[in-house]
Structure 1
Amino acid sequence: MTGLGLTGARGVSPNLALDELVRERRRAGVSVVHLGFGESRLPVFPPLAERLTAGATRNAYGPVQGDLAVRSAVAGYFTRRRIPTEPDQVVLAPGSKPLLAAVQMCVRGDTLLPLPCWNTYPPQAMLAGKSVLPVPIPDDCGGVPKPSALARTIRTARADGRDPRILVLALPDNPTGTLAPPAVVRELCELARAEDLLIVSDEIYRDLLHDPEQPVLSPAEAAPERTVVTTGLSKNLALGGWRIGAARFPSNALGAGLRDAVTSFASEVWSTLAGPMQEVAAYAFGEPAELRAYLARAARLHGALARAVHRIVTSAGADCRPPTAGFYVYPDFEPRRDALFRRGVTDSASLQHRLLAAHKIAVLGGHHHGDDPGGLRFRAATSMLYGDTAEEQLAALDSADPLALPHTARLLDALREGFAELCE
């Protein structure tokens, strides 16, 4: 067939492409320290596997929005986080990613994004025909735009004929591994209310705070009438391949209309969350005691390895926000630009390439997160350091000092050596 016009073709998502590249190199016998893929590298918690088995005979389609029992469990999950929710406000999906895309497809106007941000946000907005309006993040955290810069961006965009309508926030953040403080969230919610913006709050990392006492404020608390919250089980319970996500819509007419639009979109795209996964979701969002204990262990492990990598990159001369949630660090090697220039590194793309080619360290360059391509920043996913086998990962999860385990210590030593050589 000739003359076929393709719209929206942008290639494979860069994090997925990098993960496949690392797999190819490892199959060829090359040892690579893989920090380039945002996967919670832990084995399945056994009760989750039991629920999956119990749901294996659920082969009917079921309601598009999700079964009532599962939506009730999700409603309870949000309510326990100070976001009162009824089951009819919830929509389930095969991952939070399609829910984020569905909101972009169902709401008119352009999209405001923090800069840097998760590499999927901009393509989703562009595939929905929107302009992406990036706004720099504050100095102390990521996942949210700097409030004063957001106000300026909105004014400039409208003067240029753009129509900013959606503000996407990540609480906590991918790629910086930080959480915006409540004061900043409140200020952004006030601005969203004044400018009549819909807030989309991606809270998939909320259960992975390194300090469980760290204060969290969801925009759904400060601006409930205009906030959609998305979450899922990919990160907190390491179920990325099972694809289980949920969205919570406002309780007003705006929320009901958007929920119905997303459900209609879902009916034509993914139909319903698979029945076995709904069985898993009902158990997981119900948060029984044994699952809460597992989550606490996972959060401690994530924090220990993220802080260890933070120490390594800052010792090599990078500036880096201290990680407080999830399993990422986002160093800036601008202070070492002269040393890197001598090795042919001039931007984030060449930095990513140099680390993989010369030091066998895979990271995702900042340019993939919408950052300035000329910067020397990248995202490192520290969860890939827990081990390559279920036995190693369980040992890391159970250890009082996971950094001292032979397999994690070996990888951390390789990182110290690699970054020291890069910047010497």
Structure 2
Amino acid sequence: MRRTDQVGGGGAELLAVPSATAVRTAACGYWHRRGLPADPPQVAVAPGAPLLLLAVLAAAAGAPGGGGEGLRAPGSVLLPHPCPPWHAAQARQLGRTVHTVPVPAECGGVPDPFALLEAVRRSRGAGEVPHALVLSVADDITGTAPPPELLHEVCEAAVAEGLLIVSDETWRDTSHGPHDTVVVSPAEMLTEAGRADHVVVLAGLDAMDAAMDAAMDAAMDAATDGAPVTGPGSGPGEVPPGPSPGIARFAATERGRAFGERVHHLLTELGARLSGPVAAAAAATLREPAELLSRRAEAARLRGERARALHRVVTGTGAVCRPPHLGRHLYLDLDPFRPRLAARGVTDAPRLEAELVRRLGPYAQGGHRFGDAPGELRVRLATDLPAGAAGAAGQDGGAGEPVAAGAAGRQPPQEWPRAPGTLAQVQSVLVDLTDGSCQ
């Protein structure tokens, strides 16, 4: 079992980097506009939210009062399932045991609070030290946000068990109808309850839609005075290949400041810095100029229309699917058709994924990729599925790997032509798979 050594000192070196300072200052404004005031020392910046999560989990494991108590026993991290694959990957990189907890019926992103308590009990019974819960208040896997009252129950359960809550809020700005979907941060709830020490807020800029990508390109162009950015896959005005920046917010308390210092130190040890142009682009993005806000809102509105139309189609065929409110995906459960799918040789999520990829192209990913049991017939479907996907995939094509996480979602909703044709294709595929006939 690998363990993260105690690290002394602070991250003064990383805090003093001018480019990172600009991003932290812009991040403070970003969070202040969302009711989460912060000062620059409370903010950590890294080239990618996954690397930030790695540092946060490592710091939590070794910080007194952080939930891990130095991990005198094997440590464990709790996650809802389904969840983004990179959440579990960072915990496993640290040698932590990962326990997944089912989400409630009404939403994804958070565990069922009673199942969470049972998972903690079992982890301790196995001689482990459960020290962190990673959740998503805006869940791009299922396209949902937890109701505030349910999130409150989850936070209460986590705090009662001494868990650090890492709130991944990467997708909170993708609500299809902001006035209809309330996204509340655990940091808001726990600060009001005097328990701010128990939460770290995390966000990645890679979640932003096409409007945000365009703003990043413009900021990069300005930062380089229009000079081309050289490197594999780079073109004039383009952000260099690599992970988009991630930001984290720590509590404005003595313990929160100490925790933040530890994360800064770990990032310094890892050499986790942003290049000047990328930092300038990230800072410009986080300042959220009016044009960016307008384009982002319009893109989210259009994506919502597509998502609702696709939801009507898939539920009309009998699939179980939560109504989408944000993000770029639907999460389908085809278990009601298990006997019919079994007749076609589709008995688990990998086979379901393969069949849908063959018929629709690389826009479906099986639930096994997100922490669900492979035997469950669940699949994530991109709402930006383009017209002609089934024809392009070919009925006789191979079931190649799905697109990388986020790739399908980067397609602007405006580029979703002939929507009725796309919806008809999806409906035809699902009906053909579940009508009880065999090829």
Q: State the aligned residue count.
A: 355
Change (3 A) 1:241 1:151: same
> Match of 1:94?
47
> Match of 2:205?
233
Unaligned runs of 5+ in 1: 1-6, 8-60
Change (3 A) 1:292 1:387: farther
> Match of 2:305?
304
1:217 aligns with 2:184: yes
Change (3 A) 1:386 1:356: closer
Change (3 A) 1:90 1:335: same
Provide the TM-score with structure 2 as the length reference.
0.75
> Match of 1:336?
337
Question: What is the Cα-based RMSD across aligned positions, in Å?
Answer: 2.4
Identical-residue share of aligned pairs (%): 41
> Match of 1:184?
150
Contact preservation (8 Å) 2:101, 2:119: yes
CA distance in 2, matches of 1:221, 1:176: 23
> Match of 2:246?
245
1:202 aligns with 2:202: no
CA distance in 1, matches of 2:50, 2:242: 12
Change (3 A) 1:358 1:77: closer
Matches within 5 A, 1:256-275: 256-275=257-276
CA distance in 1, matches of 2:15, 2:277: 11
Matches within 5 A, 1:348-367: 348-358=349-359, 360=361, 362-367=363-368
Give the C-alpha shift of residue 63 in structure 1. Answer: 4.3
CA distance in 2, matches of 1:65, 1:104: 26
> Match of 2:33?
80
CA distance in 1, matches of 2:128, 2:387: 45
| Partner deviation per Cα, 1:25-73 (whole Å, 9 max, x = no partner) | xxxxxxxxxxxxxxxxxxxxxxxxxxxxxxxxxxxx9946953232111
Give the C-alpha shift of residue 311 in structure 1. Answer: 1.9
CA distance in 1, matches of 2:188, 2:319: 36
| Partner deviation per Cα, 1:226-257 (whole Å, 9 max, x = no partner) | 21111122122444966122111111233222
CA distance in 2, matches of 1:62, 1:262: 11
Change (3 A) 1:128 1:384: farther
Contact preservation (8 Å) 1:66, 1:92: no
CA distance in 1, matches of 2:428, 2:53: 39
CA distance in 2, matches of 1:332, 1:149: 20
Contact preservation (8 Å) 2:177, 2:325: yes
Deviates more, 1:104-113 or 1:409-418: 409-418
Unaligned runs of 5+ in 2: 3-13, 62-74, 191-195, 214-240, 390-409
SS in 1 for 2:170: coil
Change (3 A) 1:166 1:65: farther
CA distance in 1, matches of 2:49, 2:430: 34
Contact preservation (8 Å) 1:65, 1:91: no
| Partner deviation per Cα, 1:209-236 (whole Å, 9 max, x = no partner) | 1121122210011122221111122122
Contact preservation (8 Å) 2:22, 2:280: no
Change (3 A) 1:200 1:64: farther
Contact preservation (8 Å) 1:94, 1:245: yes
> Match of 1:419?
430
CA distance in 1, matches of 2:16, 2:244: 17
1:154 aligns with 2:120: yes
The letter of the residue matching 1:218 is S
Contact preservation (8 Å) 2:170, 2:204: yes
Contact preservation (8 Å) 2:151, 2:186: yes
Contact preservation (8 Å) 2:76, 2:123: no
CA distance in 1, matches of 2:359, 2:387: 23
Change (3 A) 1:168 1:82: same
Deviates more, 1:64-73 or 1:188-197: 64-73
Change (3 A) 1:311 1:241: farther
Contact preservation (8 Å) 1:364, 1:379: yes
Higher relative contact order (CA 8 A, sep 6+): 1
SS in 2 for 1:107: helix
Q: 14, 22, 36: which one pairs with 1:69? A: 22
Provide the TM-score with structure 1 as the length reference.
0.78
SS in 2 for 1:179: coil
SS in 2 for 1:234: helix
